[in-house]
Amino acid sequence: MRIELKREGGLAFFPGLARPRSVDLDALPPATAEALQREVREARFFEQPATVGGGPTAGADRTSYTVTIEDDGGRRHSVRLVEPVQEPHLRALLGLLQQAEREQRAP
C-alpha cells in the first residue's frame, strides 16, 4: 500500500508544504503500518466521496489535505479532507498519516 499526503491552505501556509509527501508502509515499523491499514479499512476510505469535512461556513484559510491511497491490488482513490474533519476514522487516519510522514522524514 502506498499513501500520498498533500497539505493545502491554512493560516501559516507555505507553498513548500503543499508538496505531496509519500508514506511507504514497507518502510514503517510494523505496528504503525498495521494501524494505518486498519484505519484505511475502518474509514472505508475507498468508498468515501472526493471531498469530506468542512463546516457550514466557507473559509479560504481552512487547511485541507488530499490523501491518495493505492492498495496492493492497484486500486487508487483520492479524498480531500477539509478541516474540521468530523468522521472519527478519517480523523484518526489523518493523524496517523501525519505522524508516519514526520517519522519517515526524521533522520
pLDDT digits (tens, 9 = 90+) for 67-105: 999 998 999 999 999 988 889 999 999 999 999 988 887
Measured on CA atoms in the order 105, 41, 54, 74, is the torsion positive or negative? positive
> CB of 104 within 8 A of CB of 27?
yes
Indicate whether 54 pLDDT > 90: no
Count other C-beta atoms under 10 Å from residue 95's C-beta.
12
Distance of alpha carbon 16 from alpha carbon 18, whole angstroms: 5
